[in-house]
Amino acid sequence: MAHYYDIDEIIVEEELVSAVFQKAANGVGILDPSAETNSVEQGSKVELPFWLAHELLQRQAVTINVPACFNQKTRKEIQADAPCVDLRSRCPYFYELGCKLAPLVGDRTIGSLLLQAFLSRYKEVLSKAHTAASTPVPKVLTILTKEETNLYETAQSSMAAFKKWRMGGPRFQRASVLGRKRKPTD
Amino acid sequence: MYGRRACQLVKELSSAEKGQLTGFNSDMFDQVVKECSTHYLELQSLMRKIQEEGMDIQTTRNADHFGMVIHHLSLMRNKRCLMAYVYNRAEIIRNLRWKIGPVLPQEIHEKLSYSEEEYFKNHSTALESYMSELELDLTVDMVPPKDPYIQVRVLDDIGEVLLSDQSANLARHSMHFLKRIDAEQFISQGLMEELTG
């Protein structure tokens, strides 16, 4: 139940993966931009969203190739210096997509790649979160995936809560759903 | 088509700031519902094609079958996105009653659809009838209290108000020493702020 309504799950599954059709399919020609008729030919290579590719794989209608964000170039960069790799531009849901793909693609090295990347990066993320000021936005934020950004923001808010507890301060807050305070008109 | 627009609808929710409500995008919502009808019609025409060719609908695995499968999956995906959109907004709306109180400011009214406003009213009524049975106001003391009284400064003109232990003239910039449970509602609506130190 928790997965069905989860917004991040839905957005992760929309990421495109490259799939080769093992069987033809009629009436869905829009999926393949190079199709001449309203159908996808057997053997054609199409970019499909993950949710569709996953279901069709289970019905043995397609095979899935590993997407570009897990290719050799990215792997070398991660081995060289993981905290500096711009994972957000490769794939903002790097870890989530990798976890979902690993059992489907038959590539055993994806799991260890994800682990290695995360281990090297999370230390940077946490140390920057605890020491950096909130403005200007540190450069590290622009290269983080969604999961790492959540980690960063959680660390920052826990740091802020700790400081507030130490200093004391107003414990009642304006309801956050009301948005930014307008300037009082004089 | 094929779930792309439905996913855009869901992305609107994720791109808003945490806990903030965006306007109900009824145009996109209706478009996604129309796409569901389109997928269903395509599904039916492919099904008729299989039946006309005299093949068994349950066991055939030809190109028409896979076309049907893709349309069906797109329909389910659209349904999931629509449900998630409504479900996550409903969660925020439920919290509104606890944070702001039974009366919503205009800026929030504009962001809700008609059925969402009904939902808020019904939730509010259910909560109030429960609280009156218990004779207890559950929406105060959301932060554990340290003191029964706090110092506040008024930010917006509220006027003469009868509170539980006193009657006060809440003019702008005036400072008062009020009971917590009275002040809590005003603070969360942004009409007062707590003074410390």
**DSSP for residue B32:** H
A166 has a chain B CB within 8 A of its CB: no
Q: Which residue type does B18 have? A: K
Q: What is the pLDDT of residue A136?
A: 58
H-helix or E-strand spanning residue B168: strand B167-170
Q: Are B142 and A172 a contacting pair, CB within 8 Å?
A: no
Per-residue pLDDT band at A183 (split at 50, 70, 90) = very low
If you count residue pairs, one on A and one on B, with CB atoms under 8 Å apart, how many are there? Answer: 137
How many beta carbons lie within 10 A of that of residue B49, not counting itself? 16
- In angstroms, the CA B67 to CA B147 distance is 67
Q: Which of A7, A22, A59, A181 to mutate to test the interface with B (most CBs of B within 10 A)?
A: A7
Interface test with B, best of A3, A12, A28 (most B CBs within 10 A): A28
Query: Distance between CA atoms of A93 and A7, rounded to whole angstroms?
Result: 13
pLDDT at A64 exceeding the cut of 60: yes
CB contact under 8 A, A7 and B14: yes
Cβ neighbors of A154 (< 8 A, separation 6 or more) are none
Q: What is the pLDDT of residues A128-146, one digit of tens each?
A: 887 776 655 677 777 888 8
Summarize pLDDT for B117-172 with one digit per residue, the tens: 999 999 999 999 999 998 888 887 777 777 788 888 888 887 787 777 777 787 88
CB of A47 within 8 Å of a chain B CB? The answer is: no
Hey, is the C-beta of A7 within 8 angstroms of any chain B C-beta? yes
Per the structure block, which two tokens stand in for B133?
């049975």
Residues of B with CB below 8 A from A157's CB? Answer: none
How many other CB atoms are there within 10 angstroms of residue B146's CB atom? 8
Smallest Cα–Cα separation from A70: which of A111, A104, A19, A103?
A: A111
- B52-94 residue pLDDT tens: 887 777 777 777 888 888 899 999 999 999 999 999 999 988 9
Q: State residue A78's pLDDT score.
A: 85
Nearest to A98 by CA among A149, A131, A157, A50: A50
**Residues of chain B found within 8 Å of residue A176, distances taken between Cβ atoms:** 18-20, 99
Please provide the DSSP assignment of B114-125 as one string: HHHHHHHHHHHH
pLDDT higher than threshold 70 for residue A43? yes
Backbone phi and psi for residue A156, each to the nearest 5 degrees, phi listed first: -65, -45
Residues of A in contact with B99 (CB under 8 A): 175-177
Amino acid residing at A100: K
Q: Is the pLDDT of residue B50 over 90?
A: no
